[in-house]
A = this chain, B = another copy of it.
Amino acid sequence: MTKTISRRSFLAGSVVFGAHAVLGAQQPPASAGVADPALIQDLVAAYRILAQQGVVDGYGHVSARHNRAANRFIMARSLAPELVTAADLIEFDLDGNAVDAKGRSLYSERFIHAEIYRARADVRAVVHNHAPSVIPFGVTNVALRPMYHMAGFIGTGVPVFDIRKSFGMTDMLVSDSAKGRALAQALGDKTCVLMRGHGVTVVGPTIPYVVGRSIYLDLNARIQAQAMGLGGGNVTYLDPQEAQKVLDSGENRGYERPWELWKAKAMGK
């Protein structure tokens, strides 16, 4: 990495500048300023928690909207979640441009995050993951439905985004703004959206919410598969009104109880 950065610094005035010129690139976006240290700490914890809880492996990412600017968000450089530290976090604008990447590789799917922040003013954190339990619900006509109160947040349904509908044959990645916009449109006003043959994206008002929702979406998917195996079509899901009441009563107090545990375990004692 050090070597890469050095080489890039060395070339900054020539090749890189030339590349900007060729691509008609504008200046990198300005920073919204230093982010809240508590937000940074929670974001690093989120990466590690999602890895420890088995929701992400070497892939997947989480971001948070910048606390000083609605049109900026923060996420890691391209890195396995379990290895993320505060030094790996980068600020982006809603076109997916880095304020200062310092020559580091970026997640090619940062447009998932950028376009959801653009479309959903209420969203302040986003998780994208490939949890094995949820993939089957994106490739069959079986809808993910809430099995218990811990999954009240999917009471209004989980849409499925099929990249093929608008973009034909692709490598399945949401790797530009147009694809990010289509995903955000599929998400609508829901809390998560399945991605056919790929994974899921989960949104929420805080980092603990998106981490908690990701973990319980995974658990709910496992439970639903088991319940359907046992009861066939004869399964009682949470009533939409029950799900709504779970949300109204604070959605498990915003996951504050497990968050304390998860964070303690992910960040060491």
Contacts and interface: CB of A to CB of B under 8 A. Distances in A.
A78 B254 CA distance: 14
B58 A257 contact: yes
Contacts of A20: none
Contact of A130 (B58, B59, B150, B229): B150
Contact of A59 (B58, B164, B196, B257): B257
A69 B46 CA distance: 44
Interface in A47-99: 57-59, 78-80, 82-83
What band does the interface of chain A fall in when counting residues whose beta carbon is under 8 Å from B? 35 or more
A148 B169 contact: no
Contacts of A229: 136, 225, 229
Contacts of A228: 230
Interface string A233-269: 0111111011001101100100101111110110000
Minimum-distance CB pairs A-B, first 8: A58-B258, A140-B231, A80-B261, A136-B227, A149-B172, A171-B245, A169-B241, A171-B249
30 contacts: A57-B258, A59-B252, A78-B257, A80-B257, A82-B265, A130-B148, A132-B222, A132-B223, A135-B226, A135-B227, A136-B230, A139-B147, A139-B227, A140-B230, A140-B231, A140-B236, A142-B230, A146-B197, A148-B197, A149-B198, A164-B242, A169-B239, A169-B241, A171-B242, A171-B245, A172-B246, A173-B249, A196-B236, A225-B226, A225-B230
Interface of A: 57-59, 78-80, 82-83, 130, 132-133, 135-137, 139-142, 146-150, 152, 164, 169-173, 196-199, 219, 222-223, 225-231, 234-239, 241-242, 245-246, 248-249, 252, 255, 257-262, 264-265
